[in-house]
Copies of this chain bind each other. A is one copy, B any other.
């Protein structure tokens, strides 16, 4: 898989990529709350590059700023940070469509409740969001955004409980799916992770103040200490006391399921220096390469990563196989911020806007190309062609994850199932022929499990969720499988 880490035009056109929607960060009781949140979001930028928002509370009033673009485009500006005073803050960075209207959907969302204001932000997706939305509207409420997050706000508002924390718990008890959620009120920072723990969420600490964020890299950037992962099904409520101290209350209000973290966090989404579920992502990726080398060896002269996603697995493959690791593909990081559609003649040059072959490492060589995953295969096809044009004798593709057959419903934006490479070809040979490689091999599901967790897949009780590979979804899919014969919501076009 190639990575849409910047606004990469060609991939967009091809749709040959997966997107995750969000990263979250929150901190309670720190005088630099907004600045720390901005830095945390910057470190989580790989989880969503299109928009970012921050909410703070300054003891009197809530403040919010939302912007299209990168965190570093706006939130290093003293003038913007000055608009975000206060010691409580949550922030959100997301992948989304562009435009002004879209700002409506940028999180955190805020609502005025009887008990006071509340802001929430989450990473993930609710599998019963649409169903709940219909029920809520049927009782006379109004929905103004097209975001599922608004549904959570409604559930909180309607709860009969008096404390915000109890209301929050009341709400998430009704939500199904995969999510890591942060909420803030005038005195509290609340973190929650879904019952199966599909999306990651960690707890840290800086100067004695609690922090929650999607990945540990957001702790590292500010020199914060990692405390522990928020557990699946857990809600942690942090509250500033009148004396300034912070009381932390961890609960398990939902009947816990066995944890099943999303394997794609290890394969592709998380930053290599993050520790997810207690495991360093870079090490997991290297292990995928090592296992791949064991499962699918090949005689070759050089191991070449498809940058940047394939690099750790390629290092592992090279170390395990003894074949030298070389940068045979050079990536152009200056892709431009433009959303202008390129001319037809520029589009015809395709993948080369981002990647070019390093001929000296390719020519006359048998090349093992290591990529992290393959979605539709259209990018792989172009890369193989580029490598062949650079004079490779043989091109062997080794993919550090299994074949993708099924869509995700927990926050990963996948192409339609019938566009996935694995669904367009009867067998591996056909895929290999389509891509134009001399050989094509995917890491086995057990190889992947071992790379990440040390043990092979426990079929009775899988240690992770792997539904895109296996179709074994960790939750029911109410919106998808429920009665959707009723007319569609007339919701506003989210054109923006």
A residues bordering B, Cβ < 8 Å? 5-6, 9, 32, 35, 38-39, 42-43, 45-46, 49, 57, 60-67, 69-74, 76-79, 81, 83, 100-101, 103-104, 109-114, 116-117, 133, 137-145, 150, 153-154, 156-159, 186, 217, 220-223, 271-273, 275, 280, 282-283, 311-312, 315, 319, 324-327, 330, 332-338, 340-343, 345-346, 349, 352-353, 356-361, 389, 489-493, 495
Contact = CB atoms under 8 A, between A and B. Distances in A.
Contacts of A39: 346, 349, 353
B492 A334 contact: no
A288 B113 CA distance: 50
A373 B9 CA distance: 33
Contacts of A140: 114, 157-159
Contact of A144 (B111, B156, B272): B111
A359 B338 CA distance: 35
B67 A358 contact: no
B337 A337 contact: yes
A458 to B, nearest CB: 25
Contact of A63 (B271, B357, B493): B493
A141 B117 contact: no
A312 B319 CA distance: 17
Tell me whether chain A's interface is mostly helix, strand or loop, or mixed.
Answer: mixed
B66 A282 contact: no
29 contacts: A5-B334, A38-B346, A42-B332, A42-B353, A45-B334, A49-B334, A61-B492, A61-B493, A62-B492, A65-B100, A71-B336, A73-B337, A76-B340, A76-B343, A76-B346, A79-B340, A81-B346, A83-B495, A109-B144, A112-B142, A117-B490, A117-B491, A117-B492, A272-B358, A280-B360, A282-B327, A282-B330, A282-B360, A325-B325
A337 B79 CA distance: 16
Given A9-B76, A117-B492, 5 more contacts: A39-B346, A112-B133, A144-B145, A273-B330, A273-B360
Nearest to A53: B101
Contacts of A43: 332, 356
Contacts of A319: 324
Contact of A62 (B60, B69, B71, B491): B491
Contacts of A142: 111-113, 141, 150, 153-154, 156-157
Contacts of A6: 333-334
A144 to B, nearest CB: 6
A63 B495 contact: yes
A8 B74 CA distance: 14
Contact of A78 (B64, B73, B156, B343): B343
